[in-house]
Copies of this chain bind each other. A is one copy, B any other.
């Protein structure tokens, strides 16, 4: 088959036609870069992903990590893959040159990382978590913490984890019970149990830096009493050498439906009253710090969901082109040769749906990555703040929309392969199992919907929402210059107008104290908001495709026509379906709110 990880033509379209990555090189931070350095990084990522990540993706699944004598044992292929990833510079892709990084834009770093996620989501997860921990310590750690924990991470010697969830609390972080007692030497003694800690143990890195949420003795109740601690697997001496094993022990592994290559661990801190931790930043500010990593992770989860969808789409597309079966409804002569199944309209529907979901979400994911660059490198503080607000608003969409719809794409990929798709002899069933995690971790779907409606749309007087609406209107405006796009623009405009009105109405409920009513159908709000955003991104892509068509050579014509057809699919088949959801939201329908537990 041609390409298995992602379409490099589509990636080039995103980077250089839609998101104008080259414009970033005008900014001082990226002045050393140009399209050649970008493409070189991407080429290296593709090569390592294809050669060292993809080959053990199935083996990760078939030979999941084992718990042996208090430690997790992994298949041997994971370590060299992660080493090559580090040695090629991808762990530090965005870090300063002077700190050993490539000083790439986040947009490019995400584009590179997408290859690894597509090739092997489980192995790539160790790196994603480690990058998040590095950024967290860099932002909030003190100099000693940076020297003892950040530098070894940059050097590829330590990995990291985020340790939030506890058995009795789950998503309700305000109820965590892990305690941190001050110790005479300025460190803390940690005591508590965490579950579902990804990468919580592995035999690859010399040390593991757990970023642990815990409560100090004087902590106020709830989320305002959470502090953040560094809890290393092995203590680190002042000279940087490893000291004794910390009392942070692997209690066991969870056995997952998919994503099996990433250890999901239960960790016991302080079972022997000797778990040393180090406070990061100020007491009781831990959740705010952790949200930096969580926001990064949420975008990472969204990108992971997209790339699992992408891998399944490309596989099923290749299969559909090469698998002969049946005939057209109007050509039933049984002596005629069978046609490739891509000729069947319903198979095309399933491919087009996948393309619309996957490439729509991929565009949004990269858009968010570029927005992150804006938060760091735009000229004025005001511009950077504005970018940050927009990114905050979009984060629940970037996380949740692909988790739902790229999973649906994987479901369709299986369907195209039929009975074969249901067997483990083909890769699509694993993508489906792997992807099912994404609506759960890093804030469930339900939590994303509450974050969006209960917090993000109204923050700072709705500034981010206004900014987004302006951007969407701008795209609609530009689309109106193309007669060919009017049928795509109108459904988006109709949806947008109604979404604005319902947003105001629901925020009115919340301000009037009708909180349960206002948030009751937040899941529908999340879907409509997500479809609006993806519809916007498709209209943007359609404009670029029209521009491309005007100058394209023959081979590229097909690419742009496919883009326009996928935009048409999303904007006319998917977007208008939201009016039904909007009607329910407008009516403050209380079917779910008024249902009683005893009635089930």
Contacts and interface: CB of A to CB of B under 8 A. Distances in A.
Interface of A: 165, 168-172, 174-175, 195-196, 221-223, 254-258, 264, 317, 321, 324-330, 332, 334-335, 338, 340, 342-349, 351-352, 355, 411, 414-415, 418-419, 421-425, 429, 432-433, 436-437, 439-441, 444-446, 449-450, 454, 513, 515-516, 519-523, 558-559, 561-562, 565, 568-569, 572-573, 576-577, 579-580, 583-584, 589, 591-600
A43 B467 CA distance: 63
Given A347-B446, A348-B595, A172 B326 contact: yes
B257 A433 contact: yes
B418 A444 contact: yes
Contact of A423 (B172, B256, B351, B596): B256
Nearest to A574: B580
A597 B342 contact: yes
B568 A449 contact: no
A440 B454 contact: no
A169 to B, nearest CB: 7
B597 A568 contact: no
A interface: dominant SS: helix
B257 A326 contact: no
B329 A523 contact: no
A326 B338 CA distance: 57
Given A330-B515, A591-B573, A593-B345, A436 B414 contact: yes
A327 B172 CA distance: 8
Given A576-B583, A593-B345, A165 B432 contact: no
B580 A576 contact: yes
Copies of this chain in the oligomer:
2
A327 B415 CA distance: 40
Given A175-B325, A223-B334, A257-B424, 4 more contacts: A349-B592, A558-B598, A559-B599, A565-B591
A125 to B, nearest CB: 14
18 contacts: A172-B338, A195-B419, A222-B335, A254-B419, A254-B423, A257-B423, A340-B597, A346-B446, A348-B595, A349-B523, A352-B592, A414-B440, A418-B444, A429-B436, A561-B599, A562-B595, A565-B594, A565-B599
Contacts of A414: 436, 440
Given A344-B446, A522-B346, A595 B170 contact: no
Contacts of A576: 580, 583
Contacts of A562: 595-596, 599-600
* 9 nearest A-B pairs in the assembled complex, by CB-CB distance: A222-B334, A562-B599, A257-B429, A349-B592, A172-B326, A346-B446, A330-B515, A221-B334, A174-B334
B446 A436 contact: no
A223 B519 CA distance: 56
Contact of A519 (B345, B513, B584): B345
Contacts of A516: 328-330, 345
Contacts of A195: 419
A600 to B, nearest CB: 5
A415 B445 contact: yes
Contacts of A168: 324
B419 A196 contact: yes
B423 A255 contact: yes
A398 to B, nearest CB: 19
A254 B349 CA distance: 28
B444 A415 contact: yes
Contacts of A573: 584, 589, 591
A31 to B, nearest CB: 38
B170 A419 contact: yes
A94 B195 CA distance: 51
Contacts of A172: 325-327, 338
B572 A591 contact: yes
B334 A175 contact: yes
A256 B424 contact: yes
Contacts of A170: 325-326, 418-419
Contacts of A329: 450, 454, 515-516, 519
